[in-house]
Structure 1
């Protein structure tokens, strides 16, 4: 027989009261969550040959500071979620997601030399307000205001040309060295002769590492000049003869960007290794 006095406390609280009208209600339908694939960076394709943009100006403004002005033309086609009578207003904001500098190699006589490049990427956030027609007569149109936000990506590689304001990339170096060794020769050589050479049993090396720093990129100014044209505009049935609606929009933009690249102070190694001979 179990002694209830020495047993741990048992919770005996009954369920809370549920009204009849609650229990008689049909269960709520819950839609399963859809697993949407998330792209880490939807701006850049997996594989692409990026267009090269020639900057309008590459100007040195201070030691280690370069001002880059570039114009990027873009084009895109997007679809509004509902039919639109007309676009009321578009607010635009530029977002830079990539500003990565690639330096050129030091010039070598007889070998073609490239120029420094700047990989640019980002998108224009557009907040579009438009009117959606809901009813019309022969002389009037009634509508509601809709809001639609879309991100329009762009990519470009800026050719910085032969500017002399960029510090060169310093490369790691490793060179071996050895000491002279003198040993006696085996039988068959004159006792006065000695073997003079490097010691094959030793391994001596000197290494140098340079830790290059990427330039700091700042967005100074942007300008967006755009044209939006409907591609599928049709006449509004039963409405005024001049009215129509559309959903597909073709957009052309010219994005003017001004960036400031700040490079670290150029490092002059105190004892650079001499170039190795072939």
Structure 2
């Protein structure tokens, strides 16, 4: 007789191997959100192209953080990074065709540049308080020693004090959890303007021109979380069977 396999039977067999779950009040160590910040950074930069630019066709931007450091025990947060910009532009190309009074031949090029930024801000209010770092300690101690005095001193007297030929120390070191950041989102509003635009030479259209330098102004909005690994207590009340 051929048996019929049901999906429920396979699931039941799989659920026979239940994971071990500790019951009660458990202490675990997980990243805790200390603060969620919205920062606004102002950037002004001059970009120099490797060749004359006729027209900007497209700009793609990506925000990268290279440093996000909460300087405990203060509330100062140091932010550093850059905006990677890939600029696609048209450059005049006389090899294709010489300019005329009604036309300009050009080819497309790409230029990638990193625009740096940095800012120091203060966290005025924490969602959860950070665990402050414990200071390392180092203490010296000595033992008293007695020595016989040389000739010229009473025979019953002794030299008492520490021995400078020995060095004793007790030290302790704490390995504190360093806060770190998580980049959530970014938004850029920018304005680009040519600085040295000049008309095209020869018989080119009067309104066409080229430039090699561009001034860029950006308003960069960044949203990020500041976290730190901390020990927290969680409640585990049951180890239920596998649920469908």
Higher relative contact order (CA 8 A, sep 6+): 2
C-alpha contact (below 8 Å) 2:32/2:229 kept by paired residues: no
Q: Which residue of 2 aligns with 1:263?
A: 228
Q: Which residue of 2 aligns with 1:140?
A: 103
Distance 1:145 1:172, change over 3 A: same
How far residue 214 of structure 1 moved from its aligned partner, in angstroms, is 0.6
Counterpart of 2:230 in 1: which secondary structure? coil
1:156 aligns with 2:119: yes
Q: 2:41 aligns with which of 72, 77, 94?
A: 72
| Structure ranking higher in strand proportion | 2
In the alignment, the residues of structure 1 paired with residue 175 and residue 33 of structure 2 have an alpha-carbon distance, to the nearest angstrom, of 17
Q: Which residue of 2 aligns with 1:229?
A: 193
User: After the TM superposition, which residues 28-47 of structure 1 pair with which residues of structure 2 at under 5 Å, given as runs?
Assistant: none
Structure 2 stretches lacking a partner, 5+ long? 1-30, 143-160, 233-244
Distance 1:175 1:81, change over 3 A: closer
C-alpha contact (below 8 Å) 1:64/1:265 kept by paired residues: no
Counterpart of 2:105 in 1: which secondary structure? strand
C-alpha contact (below 8 Å) 1:133/1:141 kept by paired residues: yes
In the alignment, the residues of structure 2 paired with residue 148 and residue 176 of structure 1 have an alpha-carbon distance, to the nearest angstrom, of 61
Query: When the two structures are superposed, what TM-score results if normalisation uses the length of structure 2?
Result: 0.63
Q: Which residue of 1 aligns with 2:81?
A: 122
In the alignment, the residues of structure 2 paired with residue 217 and residue 136 of structure 1 have an alpha-carbon distance, to the nearest angstrom, of 53
Counterpart of 1:136 in 2: which secondary structure? coil
C-alpha contact (below 8 Å) 1:101/1:116 kept by paired residues: yes
Distance 1:83 1:64, change over 3 A: closer
Q: Which residue of 1 aligns with 2:66?
A: 97
C-alpha contact (below 8 Å) 1:64/1:166 kept by paired residues: no
Distance 1:207 1:82, change over 3 A: closer
How far residue 80 of structure 1 moved from its aligned partner, in angstroms, is 0.8
Which runs of 4 or more aligned residues in structure 1 lie more than 4 Å from their structure 2 counterparts after TM superposition? Answer: 174-178, 203-208
Residues 134-171 of structure 1 show CA distances to partners (whole Å, capped at 9, x for unaligned) of: 23111111111111111111122222235463222222
